[in-house]
Amino acid sequence: MTTGHIMMAMSLDGFVARPDHAVDWLNKQATHNEDHGFAEFQGRMDVIVMGSGSFRTVVGFGEWPYSIPCIVMSRTMTDEDVPMELRSRVEVSTLEPNVLFASLQKRGLQRAYVDGGAVIRSFIEAGLIEDMRITIVPILLGDGIRIFGSNDRDIDLELMSSTPFPSGLLDLEYKVKR
Amino acid sequence: MTTGHIMMAMSLDGFVARPDHAVDWLNKQATHNEDHGFAEFQGRMDVIVMGSGSFRTVVGFGEWPYSIPCIVMSRTMTDEDVPMELRSRVEVSTLEPNVLFASLQKRGLQRAYVDGGAVIRSFIEAGLIEDMRITIVPILLGDGIRIFGSNDRDIDLELMSSTPFPSGLLDLEYKVKR
């Protein structure tokens, strides 16, 4: 079965964005030449899965940054909502997470980069996330969009590595226990 | 002025307890002989400040564990609610955090161990916390009592140290930037 992988930055109090989705606080720390491994991580992924909110944000950047196929999980968007020039690389899906992963597996897409708060939560809940790379940014935002949501049962993790950087950012790698 | 210091364990998703205040999940990891520095931390403190909820929990343990003076921040409790045998060591206060710290300073109580979710939040908000020692437990609880609350402005932190343990617990030390 295809496996899900997360790489996200969060504030120490667990937010990925301010209430208005702003991520300006990510740039408060001078990170200069620090390599937080995003390119290496992305290079190992076969497909990216995100929600419609993340999709609109990325489209708003102007240039589409991903070379791997992208699945947008949405019940309100259709393929027609995808800009023409992206239709060869982006598809909209209404499948349940486990059904989606079974179909990706059939297509030979083994490792899925799962991005965006609500989508991350539903894939964790479905038991489809194998590991998580979390960068903790040294700030308390107080309010915003939470990276993790409610889950019916404990999700037990195993700490694989922790790497502090001069900027105060801290890279953590967890495996999800089965 | 007296300075506030925090030492708490939280789940990766930022909870100090389950919704029903249970902390059973703290013991899911085998921590054997790991020294997370609590005794050393407590040895450097002159006074402990907590809310009435934490106070009742500690009283429920049967044996009072603190040798330093204890201040219970409460508008509903009075000194009469403190068990007789603890009255020489525990006092109830309705002072605002900054007024309390000014009064502690006059009594020569320089370093205050600030404990309990709501109390921690009000002292962070008042700018009275100098540093925080947070142990991250490798688990997502999904719901519970949050360690941090809303704050009107960003609280910028400086990462002083990070120490991973074989159990998967991770000790972090942050200074609050002024």
Q: Is residue A68 part of a domain?
A: yes
Residues in chain A within 8 Å Cβ distance of B155: 139-140, 142
Instruction: Of A11-15, A33-37, A104-108, give the lowest mean pLDDT range.
Output: A33-37
Minimal Cβ distance to A140: which of B148, B159, B164? B148
Q: How many domains is chain A partitioned into structurally?
A: 1
> Cβ of B138 and A154 within 8 Å?
no
Mean pLDDT comparison of A19-28, A44-53, B148-157, highest-scoring range: A44-53
Q: Residue B72: what pLDDT?
A: 97
Determine the distance in angstroms separating the CA of A88 from the nearest CA of chain B, rounded to an integer. 37
CA B53 to chain centre: 12
Q: Does a structural domain hold residue B111?
A: yes
Radius of gyration, alpha carbons of chain A? 16
Residue range of the domain that includes A65: 3-17+46-176
Residue of A nearest to B165 (CA): A159
Verify whether the Cβ–Cβ distance A158 to B168 is below 8 Å. yes
Q: Which of A138, A155, A162 sits opposite B170 (nearest CB)?
A: A162
Question: What does DSSP say about strands B129-137 and B170-176: parallel, antiparallel, or unpaired?
Answer: antiparallel
Tokens representing B166? Answer: 């074989």
The stretch B64-80 carries a mean pLDDT of 94
Task: State which H helix or E strand residue B145 sits in.
Answer: strand B145-146
Q: What's the CATH code of the domain at A138? A: 3.40.430.10
Contact (CB<8Å) B138/A174: yes
Strand A129-137 and strand A170-176: the pairing is antiparallel
Does the residue B30 lie in any domain?
no
Q: Does position A33 have pLDDT exceeding 90, yes or no? A: no
Per residue in A150-178, is it b (16+ CB within 10 Å) or e — as a string? Answer: eeeebbbbebeebebbebbbbbbbbbbee
**Amino acid B148: pLDDT:** 86
Q: Does the distance separating the beta carbons of A148 and B168 come in below 8 Å? A: no
Please choose, from the candidates A108, A26, A96, A158, the residue with its C-alpha nearest in 3D space to the C-alpha of residue B138. Answer: A158
> What tokens were used for A63?
């240039």
Instruction: Assign B31 a pLDDT band (cuts: 50, 70, 90).
Output: confident
Nearest-by-Cβ selection for A140 from B28, B155, B164: B155
Q: Do A157 and B170 touch (CB under 8 A)?
A: no
Kind of pairing, strands A129-137 and A15-17? unpaired
Residue with tokens 């390119």: A39
Tell me the count of A-B CB pairs closer than 8 A: 98
Tens digits of per-residue pLDDT, A134-152? 999 999 999 998 888 887 7
- Domain membership of residue A56 (yes or no) is yes
Question: Cβ of B157 and A164 within 8 Å?
Answer: no
**Helical H runs in chain B?**
38-43, 52-60, 97-106, 117-125
A159·B149 Cβ contact <8 A: no
Number of Cβ within 10 Å of residue A75's Cβ equals 9
The pTM score is: 0.91
**pLDDT band at residue B161 using 50, 70 and 90 as cut-offs:** very high
